[in-house]
Amino acid sequence: MTNRRILLAAGLAAALASPALAQQGRPVPAKLSPEQQAQLDKATAYIQNLSSAKGRFVQTDARGTVTQGTLYLQRPGKARFAYDPPAGLLVVSNGKNVNIFDSRLKTFSSYPLSKTPLNLLLAREVRLDRGVVITDVRPLADGFTIVAQDDRRQALGKITIDFSNGPVGLMGWTITDVKGGQTRVRLSDFGSTSALDPQLFELTDPRRTAGR
């Protein structure tokens, strides 16, 4: 799978572990004002209380390529990014691994969930004040954004997560890789839903089944 297709396929899960990250300095935590801390607390509570959710996403990769699809989320640990044709991509987190199937290139890849920024949203216990360095909390026109890096430096680059105000809701995120390239994901019609089919979060290599 080419680097461009990895960025396109993974979106939020594209930032994978790399020795290059260990060569960088440790991220510096922001000194938060009481207002910023309150926003951080609201965002943490929102994610922690989010169980089953569904919505549409629009993704723009570092080269400006735009794709879209449907996101299914089942905390803890599980998510499914079903890209609309002609992208031919399916990204599924089963709670342990993030699996990516590209039907156009006939490739299948798997990465540990713990080594992707997706783990920040899917962890059983969301603690944005532990294991994650918050480098900024800043206002948006219709909400606020949180910039975070993995304190253990397992995840490459940084993730910027956008939230709406009153009530707090997830609007999207931007991943900045170690070279400065950005992949943006924007959500629409995203909200809680009834229990999702567990099979949505199962993805094995389809090529093996086809080869039987």
All domains of the chain, ordered by start, with CATH? Answer: 3-17+29-188 (2.50.20.10)
Q: Is 113 helix (H, G, I), strand (E, B) or coil?
A: helix
Q: What is the pLDDT of residue 82?
A: 94
- Is 192 within 8 Å of 49 (Cβ atoms)? no
- Window from 32-41, 67-76, 122-131 with minimum mean pLDDT: 122-131
pLDDT tens sequence across 89-138 = 899 999 999 999 988 888 898 888 887 777 778 888 777 666 678 889 99
Compare 11 and 40 and report the one with higher pLDDT: 40
Q: Is 156 helix (H, G, I), strand (E, B) or coil?
A: coil
Q: Is 147 helix (H, G, I), strand (E, B) or coil?
A: strand
Structure tokens at 45: 């509570």
**Considering the entire predicted model, what is its pTM?**
0.81
